[in-house]
Amino acid sequence: MVSFRDRKTTREELVGAGYSWEYLDTWQPKTVLYRHADGLNVDGEIVHPHGSTVEGVPGNPDYVLRKARIGFFPYPPNEHCNCQWCVERVVKIDRDSSTTEKK
């Protein structure tokens, strides 16, 4: 049985990941998630770029919460996204552009 504290923590984390407050209390159909983190293979090569979709995933709150922790969200990455992967990508792009300007 899930305690009230666990349920509240899960709900707050889901809301922080972009889901609605009522998500935990309603029926969750299959959904589409967008990659905010690049999918890498064992050699470190990008095999699934950020922005690609993963369709037909279960909409269970615990499942989408686990996916949100590794960079899958219900909205596509954009310049206003504050997830750690989008922020890291912007910082890397800024760092790369500043080093090329100095040359």
pLDDT single digits (tens) 18-59: 888 787 777 778 899 999 999 999 999 999 999 999 999 998
pTM passes above 0.75 = no
3-state helix, strand, coil split of the chain in percent (to 5) is 45, 15, 40
pLDDT score at 59: 87
SS3 61: helix
| In the chain, where the domains are located | 4-76
The torsion angles phi and psi of 16, rounded to 5 degrees, stand at: -65, -25
Q: Which of 95, 71, 93 is nearest to 84 (CA)?
A: 71
**pLDDT tens per residue, range 55-92:** 999 988 889 999 999 999 999 999 888 889 999 888 87
Helices (H), the chain: 4-16, 61-69, 84-102
Band of residue 94 on the pLDDT scale cut at 50, 70, 90: confident
